[in-house]
Amino acid sequence: MSHLLGIDIGTSGTKVLLVSPDGGIVARSSHEYPLHTPRPGWAEQDPADWWAATVAGIRDILSTGGIAREEIVGIGLSGQMHGSVFLDERGEVLRPAILWCDQRTAEQCQWITCQAGERTVIEETLNPVLTGFTAPKIVWLRQNEPATYARVRKILLPKDYIRFRLTGEFATEVSDASGTSLLNIPERRWSRRMLAALDLSEDMLPRVYESPEVSGRISAQAAEITGLAEGTPVVGGGGDQAAGAVGNGVVRPGIVSVTTGTSGVVFAHMDEPRADPQLRTHTFCHAVPGKWHVMGVMLSAGGSLRWYRDALGVAAAAGSGADPYDLLTTEAAEAPPGCEGLIFLPYLSGERTPYADPWARGVYFGLSLRHRRAHLIRAILEGVSYGLRDSLEILRTMGLEISQVRASGGGARSKLWRQIQADVFDADLVTMNVDEGPAFGAALLAGVGAEVFAGVEEACDRTISISDHTVPDSDAAFYDTFYPIYQALYASLKDHFREIGRLVG
């Protein structure tokens, strides 16, 4: 029987899934690794940690999945977007990878926009140049670590570094490449105008594929290290959001996904490329060949709850054996909607949608002596939901059809958080029979490349169905009165965010 492997190189860890052709999860494995913040606003990881986690995950799958390695007919890759892996002429990593949530490149974003011209940037990439994107990281390295930059021969995105280790190929695909500020998004190829403006050579970049295309095959060396069969095809895959959308069945107009992972993403399919006139959202190539998507991104969604868990909530889970997030959300249910006037701004890593502001920071507003841990936790769930609503409101102003909202990610596993989102959005939420995120979507893309499925839409139709339905209740009107206050807080604090950032930076 043919099986598919999906690998997702996430920010907190790598997930590996073994999937049957009917979408059944045969085996799964996850391995975590650290995120390093050497300075305020910086975020880096060691690509060696990604590779070690990938190898361990594959070996776990092969030992527990109960199949021969030859039964894996295709492998799909997904991963955190925008990160930069700098390689020398031998393919060795030159420095820690700079991640999507790193905010050091504000000056480089302005420089690129001036150098290329705002009109060129928008015509070619359909997006402003943002601090999380890849091109500013390249310019930052050239300006701040010139000796290292002089040795750079290839620049890869996180999942594409794993592809290189698995196949020896320098390759990427259109959805992930869309977040570099170097791709001509309407034409789905590297932008010659952007590269020329930044004095970058296309030779430094990997070849661009469509997401279901075979981009390489498992090398003899990788086969020995991982246990996979030599020659197994590896498809282009997708950036985590595009692959996650495939795994959630968002491959036709009208269906919108709301994903609450480390980041928070509102994602809608488009048959033609369209951009928000104010450029608050991102328009990227979809993992469906010849299609596009628009998404709003908040940088700290589930990441805000993880921050609370690590900084303030560890003791609650000590020795209990329970999932710490379950404990936190159970405690949050003890607080009333609106948390008795407590509002949380989830800008712990700056923000992207609707405010492209690397200086923005997290805030608890309205604290009083009455507030307890339950209020603090629930305020995070509500604040993140307000932030996601910002993106939904933009999609509505763009005139996009929203016939169904599909919830996914770690936040969707919480009944309380799903209800809060349904109330804040004032929209029905559905969850799907499979909630394995980008790794599942990557496996489906591998199935298309391996001709298990005729196309991406067929892969989704054969494997994905609705499993649960959450409708707004009477709290929706209550949250609607709080939402304008949430929005007004950023405007009141914007200048102070920048001032404090300069003081500590």
d(CA 438, CA 15): 9
Q: Catalytic pick from 49, 160, 176, 240?
A: 240
Beta bridge partners of residue 27, listed in sequence order: 18
d(CA 423, CA 374): 19
Per-residue buried b or exposed e for 190-209, using 16+ beta carbons within 10 Å of the residue's own CB: bbeebbebbebeeebbbebb
d(CA 298, CA 387): 7
The strand pair at 85-87 and 264-270 is best described as unpaired
d(CA 269, CA 282): 12
Nearest to 306 by CA among 409, 391, 387, 415: 409
DSSP string covering 306-358, please?
A: HHHIIIIIHHHHTTT-S-HHHHHHHHHTTSPGGGGG-EEE--BTBB-SS--BT
* Element spanning 1, H or E: none
DSSP string covering 396-446, please?
A: HHTT---SEEEEESGGGG-HHHHHHHHHHHTS-EEEES---THHHHHHHHH
Active site residue 326: no
DSSP label of 82 = S
Q: Which residues are catalytic?
A: 240
